[in-house]
């Protein structure tokens, strides 16, 4: 029997501490005008307590399970995408599994940063198509705020990121009409490690010498993220355009056939440039970066959730989603919602 998968439930959780551009201006040499012109971001949310990414993921997961009309016990696999895990090891999927009380099921972590949700979606779709699982919980969750350099040294990166979580339930489905029935059509995954150090955190790491991390590395700020912004921007636009076109060709579609575009939320200017290059009308692109900043693996499920709540995303729509991130990694997914 041929199996297919579809998204059956979405959930999100945004922590309670609102951080505006004016708040950042009080911490470092920046301004609301500078941030908005270069990124489109007006605000973001940071955790204000000891919450971790698996804590945020738990709340998003519980809502997604409920929205899918399932019981927690119906979940037979967890895939957790994050670059901000609770601990060095084990992975967040196991910590979330314990919090959900789902003992014994498969638990997998994905370290693809901003592309993590789409990689996870592809993996979930593959497992379901093989007939191995019926309901897979996919979570993207981040707590960036605890790992940012909130001084002038880190301002170009720090202004970009927010905390948050999004979750999706991917379930087995039978497709009778490929043009109307909800299902994942295809996924397209890529990476190029030649550019790994253009957006990365150097320490802690086993490649740095005899110690996982030392005092000098901390004093040098190697435990904070560093980014070559111009190179990331140029590659993001190029690769997201390419991977959207790859999906269009695979599914014999034209841009105008797609009802809704769900792009990763790294920079409003990137998404505007991609839409311009592909001649996508603005009303088909839904952005949330102005509200939440870049929540990395969580941006796409959060965006889908908000779009559904606002009536912009509706059942039956054909969706194209694309992301680009550290690694460099990039991916797209095409699905009927």
Active centre residues (catalytic): 114, 264, 294
- Which among 142, 106, 140 has a CA at the least distance from the CA of 126? 106
Asked if residues 302 and 243 have their Cβ atoms less than 8 Å apart, the reply is no
Q: Which letter, b or e, does each residue of 304-326 get, where b requires 16 or more Cβ atoms within 10 Å of its Cβ?
A: bbbbbeeebbeeebbbbbbbbbb
> On the CB side of 77, how many CA atoms lie within 13 Å of its CA?
22
DSSP class of 209: S
For residue 86, the 8-state DSSP code is S
Task: Give the CA count within 13 Å in the CB-facing half-sphere of 175.
Answer: 21
* Non-local CB neighbours of 223 within 8 Å, separated by 6+ positions: 147, 201, 202, 203, 204, 213, 217
Longest dimension (CA), the chain: 61
The two beta strands, 77-81 and 43-46, are: unpaired
CA distances from 136 to 85, 88, 126, 251, 336 (A): 20, 24, 11, 24, 18
């Amino acid at each position: 029997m041929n199996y297919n998968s579809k998204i059956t439930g979405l959930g999100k959780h945004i922590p309670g501490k609102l951080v505006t551009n004016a708040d950042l201006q009080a911490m470092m040499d920046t301004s609301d005008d500078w941030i908005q012109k270069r990124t489109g971001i007006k605000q973001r949310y940071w955790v204000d307590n000891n919450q971790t990414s698996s804590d945020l993921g738990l709340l998003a997961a519980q809502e997604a399970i409920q929205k899918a009309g399932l019981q927690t016990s119906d979940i037979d696999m967890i895939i957790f995408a994050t670059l901000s895990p609770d601990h060095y090891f084990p992975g967040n999927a196991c910590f979330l599994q314990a919090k959900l009380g789902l003992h014994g099921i498969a638990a997998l972590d994905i370290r693809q940063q901003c592309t993590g949700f789409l990689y996870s979606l592809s993996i979930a779709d593959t497992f379901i198509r093989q007939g191995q699982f019926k309901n897979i919980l996919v979570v993207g969750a981040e707590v960036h705020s605890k790992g940012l350099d909130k001084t002038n040294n880190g301002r170009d990166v720090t202004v970009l990121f927010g905390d948050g979580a999004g979750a999706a339930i991917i379930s087995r489905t039978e497709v009778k009409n490929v043009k109307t029935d909800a299902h994942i059509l295809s996924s397209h995954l890529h990476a190029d490690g030649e550019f790994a150090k253009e957006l990365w955190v150097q320490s802690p790491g086993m490649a740095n010498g005899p110690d996982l991390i030392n005092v000098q590395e901390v004093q040098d700020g190697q435990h904070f993220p560093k980014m070559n912004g111009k190179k990331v921007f140029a590659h993001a636009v190029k690769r997201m355009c390419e991977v959207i076109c790859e999906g269009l060709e695979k599914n014999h579609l034209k841009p105008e056939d797609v009802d809704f575009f769900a792009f990763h939320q790294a920079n409003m200017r990137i998404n505007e440039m991609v839409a311009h290059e592909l001649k996508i009308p603005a009303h088909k692109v839904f952005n949330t970066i102005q509200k939440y900043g870049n929540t990395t693996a969580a941006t796409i499920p959060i965006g889908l959730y908000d779009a559904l709540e606002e009536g912009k995303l509706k059942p039956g729509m054909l969706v194209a989603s694309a992301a680009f991130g550290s690694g460099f990694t990039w991916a797209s997914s095409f699905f009927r919602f």
